[in-house]
């Protein structure tokens, strides 16, 4: 008998920020990343995003190559230790809706999968915290001495996520029509299209436009917006305002 799965993106879907950003900040605290880089390379795009002039994706894309470059040569055990501190101090910073959905899926006996572009060593820890059945994340390579090489196998785009999800579907014998997907950006689009019960949580503009332009997806998707202490459930007829 086929099983029901619940496929969750993490950053912006479960977790209210990005695991990589929190790890980046901790790496500065432990002097793995020079704090001066924040002021010379990151601060401007961060402040533009905080003021709602800039784009969150641009902020993350600015951080990511600095993060990757500074991990090069670092010992995996030390980086993992810092990753543990991230989960310990901020692992509970999740959306209430997502927390309740995870609880509901567990009660129903559904299989839970975390699919994220964040580093696999961070994804594994958040997956363990919330008792996910399995997970996939971007693979940051290490050499024979357990040192990071500066190379990675990314998993943040829709095509990459689709490939790993297809593997999980086959491995766990998942019933697509009865299964669920949760995401917030176009990187989650293939996952949302694939499942019978797609839910977009606080979708960005690009994802919302993609949903509205896809008749088949727009007919079945639920849009959830969580702001302050209110959770709104919308359909794809929601109006996008441009300012």
Angle between helices 76-90 and 120-129 in degrees, nearest 10: 40
Tell me the mean pLDDT in the region 147-166: 89
Place 240 in a pLDDT band, splitting at 50, 70 and 90.
Answer: confident
CATH of the domain at 130: 3.40.50.1000
Place 58 in a pLDDT band, splitting at 50, 70 and 90.
Answer: confident
- Per the domain annotation, does 241 fall within a domain? no
Tell me the mean pLDDT in the region 223-233: 96
Which has more confidence, 50 or 6? 6
CB 191 within 8 A of CB 165: yes
Q: What is the pLDDT of residue 212?
A: 95
Residues 6+ apart with CB under 8 A from 170: none
Q: Residues of the chain with pLDDT > 90: what percent?
A: 80
- Per the domain annotation, does 239 fall within a domain? no
Q: Whole-angstrom Cα distance, residue 67 to residue 59?
A: 12
- 10 Å CB burial of residue 172 (0-12, 13-18, 19+) is middle
Q: Whole-angstrom Cα distance, residue 29 to residue 34?
A: 9
- Per the domain annotation, does 101 fall within a domain? yes
3-class secondary-structure state, position 182: strand
Domain count, the chain: 1
Tell me the mean pLDDT in the region 89-94: 95
- Per the domain annotation, does 73 fall within a domain? yes
CB 200 within 8 A of CB 208: yes
Question: What is the overall mean pLDDT for the chain?
Answer: 94
Tell me the mean pLDDT in the region 79-86: 97
Q: What is the pLDDT of residue 213?
A: 95
DSSP label at residue 39:
I
Q: Whole-angstrom Cα distance, residue 122 to residue 136?
A: 10
CB 147 within 8 A of CB 80: no
Token output for 30: 């432990």
CB 165 within 8 A of CB 159: no
Tell me the mean pLDDT in the region 107-135: 97
Tell me the mean pLDDT in the region 188-195: 94
Q: What is the pLDDT of residue 167?
A: 95
Q: State the residue range of the domain holding 80.
A: 5-234
Looking at the predicted structure, is the pLDDT value of residue 55 above 90?
A: no
CB 64 within 8 A of CB 55: no
Looking at the predicted structure, is the pLDDT value of residue 116 above 80?
A: yes
Looking at the predicted structure, is the pLDDT value of residue 241 above 90?
A: no
- pLDDT 10s digits, 167-176: 999 999 999 9
Q: Whole-angstrom Cα distance, residue 232 to residue 176?
A: 26
- 10 Å CB burial of residue 55 (0-12, 13-18, 19+) is middle
Query: What predicted TM-score, i.e. pTM, was given to this entire model?
Result: 0.94
Q: What is the pLDDT of residue 50?
A: 80
Q: What is the pLDDT of residue 24?
A: 94
CA distances from 29 to 82, 85, 139, 163, 234 (A): 10, 11, 23, 36, 41
DSSP label at residue 52:
T
Tell me the mean pLDDT in the region 121-141: 97
Place 157 in a pLDDT band, splitting at 50, 70 and 90.
Answer: confident
Tell me the mean pLDDT in the region 43-52: 86
Looking at the predicted structure, is the pLDDT value of residue 243 above 80?
A: no
| Phi (first) and psi of residue 236, to 5 degrees | -75, -5
């Amino acid at each position: 008998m086929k099983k029901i799965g619940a496929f969750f993106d993490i950053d912006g879907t479960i977790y209210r920020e990005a695991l990589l950003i929190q790890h980046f900040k901790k790496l500065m605290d432990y002097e793995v990343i020079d704090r001066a880089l924040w002021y010379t390379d990151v601060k401007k795009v961060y402040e533009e995003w905080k003021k709602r002039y800039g784009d969150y994706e641009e902020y993350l894309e600015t951080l990511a190559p600095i993060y990757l470059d500074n991990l090069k040569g670092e010992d995996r055990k030390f980086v993992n230790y810092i990753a543990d501190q991230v989960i310990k101090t901020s692992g509970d910073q999740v959306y209430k809706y997502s927390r309740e959905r995870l609880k509901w899926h567990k009660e129903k006996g559904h299989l839970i999968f975390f699919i994220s572009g964040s580093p696999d060593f961070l994804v594994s820890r958040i997956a363990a915290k919330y008792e996910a059945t399995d997970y996939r994340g971007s693979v940051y390579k290490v050499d024979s001495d357990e040192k990071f090489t500066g190379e990675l196998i990314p998993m943040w785009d829709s095509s990459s996520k689709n490939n790993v999800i297809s593997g999980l579907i086959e491995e766990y014998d998942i019933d697509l029509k009865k299964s669920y997907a949760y995401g917030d950006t176009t990187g989650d689009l293939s996952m949302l299209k694939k499942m019978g019960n797609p839910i977009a949580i606080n979708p960005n503009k690009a994802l919302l436009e993609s949903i509205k332009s896809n008749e088949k997806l727009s007919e079945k998707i639920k849009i959830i917006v969580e702001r302050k202490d209110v959770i709104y459930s919308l359909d794809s007829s929601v109006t996008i305002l441009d300012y």
